[in-house]
Every structure is written in structure tokens, then in C-alpha cells.
Amino acid sequence: MDILKSIDEMRAKRKAWRAEGQTIGYVPTMGNLHDGHLSLLDLARTRCDRTICSIYVNPLQFDRTGDLDRYPRTLEEDIEKLEALGADALFVPDDSMIYPRGMAHATTVDVPGITNILEGAHRSGHFVGVATVVCKLFNLVQPHVAVFGEKDFQQLLVVKRMAEDLNLPVDVVGAATAREPSGLARSSRNGYLSDTERAQAAEIYRALCACAQALRDGERDIAALEKTGIRRLADAGFKPDYFTVRSTADLESPHDSESAVDWVVLVAAQLGKARLIDNLRVIDAP
């Protein structure tokens, strides 16, 4: 696996692959890789001739300095996992490459509307940071396909809309959420959980399943279902930010004319030191 540490190296590798007529599949990450990340690379490999991962902890998308400082950096372990998987290259830019004039003077990308709700309402500036860094990375890597996990459902929609609005020639693909046997969505933030909290955290998936199944069964009192989800998580020791049913197309409140299969249940809740997010499409209810 090639480890690319500069923009020139990244551009040279991409140019060589494209000159050979090879397609490029890309997975941008912030490192601390787990099986969920690796499943994204597996999907990219089925779609393209070459697979590349990037690791960059993007300061612009953190709304709290403490979260940025404690975000786990495990580069050596990540390299071992990527090599074992058979990734073709790893791109590891630093802040000076991504923000050459510093973040205060950086040109940024804002995707209006969809970024102001849910995570956007709870994490000021988060999606400007996400859209900006992903746009920059897309320009550097120039992949044919980029794979993002559906666990971060709102982020996936933001990136898709950004790519469409800016006419970027990349197919943004969503991959199913990787879960632990308990149902807990795999996440780097799970590392903040104690063993006891990890067992508690599985209640998120159970609450999502119950709500999604009720909707599949024909329940339409969405406000009551949302209140039940909030109460269920609070009773289990969480501090919920939201538990809500939205349209999969734009994350707006569901319309009566829509089928429930076009809806998704989303949740964000604090448990101990970890803020956990997850979602479940109604169509995917077990």
C-alpha cells in the first residue's frame, strides 16, 4: 500500500491510475478505523479498480476544542488494517495542506437548509466543516466513487447534495451501517464507553427498531412515537438530543402523501462521555 503524505504525491498517484484507465474508489475517514470503515472500503473495491482511503482529523467540523483534542489518533494501527485489507493507497494530509492560509481565512462550502436541522442545530458549524473538507478531498483525489456510511445519514445527504450542486463528477454511495452483535452501530466514539455503558448503548438500536416497526405496522401518530423514543432512552440513562421520524429524501417531517418506506428514524443521545448517533430506515426494520 502506498502512503501518500503530500498533495503532489496524491496527484501523481491519481494521474497514473487514470492514465491507465483505472477507476478510483475512495473512503474519507478521520482514522481510528474499525470494521465499519473497512466495510466501506470493501464496497469501494467492488465498484472500482483501485481503492484509496484518507485519514485526516478535520478541525473545522468540531464545534468543541475538547472533542478535537481527545479524538483518538491511531495511525500505525490504521495502516496495518488497511494493508491487511488490501487498500491500494492511504492519503494522510495535514492542516497546512487542507487549510494553507489557516481555517480563519479558508474558503468554505455551505449546503443550505439540510444542514440547519438535527445535527446542524446541535453542532454549530459542523456541516460547513464537513462539506468544505470533503469538497477539498474530492478535488485532490478525484475519485469515480466515494463511499460514506449510512450511520451518519444526514452527513451522507449533505455530501450528496454538495456534489450535485457543485457538479462534481463523483458518485456518492451510501453503505449500510455496520453493527456490533448487540445492534450498537460501530463508531470510533464507542471507545469512550465503559463496559457497562456499552451494554446500555444497545438500547438505541432497540428503540429505533420498535419505532420503525410500529410505522411499518401502520402507526401514524409520529409525535407520540417520538416522545416514546425520547422517554425510553432517558429511562435507560441517556440524555437524548433528538429522536425523530423524517423523510429519507430531505430530512423534513414526513408528508401524508409519502409511504412509510420513505421514512427514517434518527437519534442522537449522550451516554457518559460519548455522544452517539444512529438511524434506521423504516423499510429496514427487522
Same-domain check for residues 135 and 270: no
Nearest to 284 by CA among 189, 190, 188, 185: 185
Same-domain check for residues 138 and 268: no
Same-domain check for residues 234 and 122: no
Predicted confidence at residue 144, as pLDDT, reads: 98
Same-domain check for residues 149 and 14: yes
Residue 64 lies in a domain: yes
Residue 48 lies in a domain: yes
Residue 229 lies in a domain: yes
- Burial zone of 18 (CB within 10 Å; 0-12 exposed, 13-18 middle, 19+ buried): middle
Predicted confidence at residue 97, as pLDDT, reads: 97
Residue 232, CA atoms < 13 Å, CB-side half-sphere: 19
Q: What is the CATH number of the domain that holds 251?
A: 3.30.1300.10
DSSP secondary-structure letter at 185? B
Per-residue pLDDT of the chain (286 residues; tens, 9 = 90+): 999 999 999 999 999 999 999 999 999 999 999 999 999 999 999 999 999 999 999 999 998 778 898 899 999 999 999 999 999 999 999 999 999 999 999 999 999 999 999 999 999 999 999 999 999 999 999 999 999 999 999 999 999 999 999 999 999 999 999 999 999 999 999 999 999 999 999 999 999 999 999 999 999 999 999 999 999 999 999 999 999 999 999 999 998 767 888 999 999 999 999 999 999 999 998 8
Same-domain check for residues 129 and 271: no
Predicted confidence at residue 67, as pLDDT, reads: 85
Same-domain check for residues 118 and 56: yes
What per-residue string of b and e applies to 102-135 under the rule 16 or more CB within 10 Å gives b?
Answer: eeeebeebebeebbebbbbeebeebbbbbbbbbb
Same-domain check for residues 162 and 221: no
Q: Is 37 a catalytic residue?
A: yes
Residue 66 lies in a domain: yes
Residue 180 lies in a domain: no
Same-domain check for residues 156 and 275: no
Residue 73 lies in a domain: yes
> Among the three residues 175, 203, 227, which one is the final residue of a domain in this structure?
175
Same-domain check for residues 268 and 151: no
Domain that holds residue 219: 188-281
Nearest to 151 by CA among 68, 29, 62, 271: 29
Q: What is the CATH number of the domain that holds 161?
A: 3.40.50.620
Same-domain check for residues 140 and 247: no
Predicted confidence at residue 24, as pLDDT, reads: 98
Yes or no: say if 180 and 186 are a contact pair by the CB < 8 Å rule.
yes
Predicted confidence at residue 241, as pLDDT, reads: 98
Same-domain check for residues 56 and 145: yes
> Among the three residues 147, 175, 203, which one is the final residue of a domain in this structure?
175
Residue 286 lies in a domain: no
* Amino acid at residue number 270: Q
> Among the three residues 112, 145, 175, which one is the final residue of a domain in this structure?
175
Among 34, 37, 105, 144, which one carries the catalytic annotation? 37
Predicted confidence at residue 229, as pLDDT, reads: 98
Residue 46 lies in a domain: yes
The total number of structural domains that make up the chain: 2
Q: What is the pTM of this model?
A: 0.95
Same-domain check for residues 67 and 141: yes
